[in-house]
Amino acid sequence: MITIKSAREIETMRRSGEITARVLSNLIHAVRPGRTTFELDALAEKQIREFGGIPTFKGYNGFPASICTSINEEVVHGIPSDYVLKEGDLLSIDIGTTFEKYVSDSAVTVAVGQIRPAAQRLLRVTQECLMRGIASMRAGKHLGDIGAAVQAHAESHGYGVVRELVGHGIGTRMHEEPQVPNYGRAGTGIELRTGLVLAVEPMITEGDYAVETLQDGWTVVTADGKLAAHFEHTIAITDSGPKILTLRDSGERPEAYEYAPGVAA
């Protein structure tokens, strides 16, 4: 069932998203060579709780941590560990907060120290894919418009769009209907309505889009071992357009990207 949120519910989700955004911003600043992903997870849990939230991921279907940390060819759902981050790694951090029963979900891929130009390009294009998907989220448009926008941008750069994992509706549960694929055809799928809240999360690969799950039952990696990137926001469709509920104050300037004008910040 697809739920439509009231303005009051969206305001609660914005407050949830604010916690997610602040903690994710702090995590981004804490990323450096020599730090373990365990340390980032501990920081995330401490801060989410200090801001009055609950780490949504912890215990979700048995997931053992408060964030997912996915490195290089890992696409999503990597488990924080004693892995020591090293110069040149790509690190994807995915985080979810529950605040007053409402969930917000956001992810970013960042460079550990200096990365090679090809990896920088993958990050930039994946973030642009997210912003282009968001720009298409207007009442009267269709679900397929989001995936079509993401896919067109990724493929125009020769990248792959992961098919097996998708974005999702979000509210009092992290994963609600509808599923939000990162590929598709414009004008198809359900009509987008004011009050719909979606987590849009392109997972883009440097090579082929096929993925596999490791023995730990969680970590999803590219089958060809090439790099992947993942960016995610929780977005409400409002009468005045898409409103990003997990927008970070710093380290993110959506106006810097070439998406259609008029995206509510």
Residues near Mg ion (CB under 5 A): 94, 105, 107, 199, 232
Q: Which H/E stretch holds residue 25?
A: helix 7-30
Taking the least distance from each CB to Mg ion, the nearer of 34 and 217 is 217
Q: Which residue has the tokens 């089958």?
A: 223
Cβ at position 152, least distance to Mg ion in Å: 22
CA distance 78 to 83: 11
DSSP type of residue 210: -
* Other Cβ atoms within 10 Å of 114 Cβ, number: 10
* CA dihedral (188, 189, 190, 195) positive or negative: negative
CA distance 31 to 84: 11
Taking the least distance from each CB to Mg ion, the nearer of 25 and 224 is 25
Taking the least distance from each CB to Mg ion, the nearer of 216 and 258 is 216
Taking the least distance from each CB to Mg ion, the nearer of 209 and 231 is 231
Taking the least distance from each CB to Mg ion, the nearer of 101 and 116 is 101
- Paired tokens of 228: 């992947």
- Paired tokens of 126: 């994946």
Cβ at position 58, least distance to Mg ion in Å: 13
Cβ at position 166, least distance to Mg ion in Å: 9
CA distance 151 to 135: 14
Cβ at position 90, least distance to Mg ion in Å: 17
Cβ at position 55, least distance to Mg ion in Å: 12
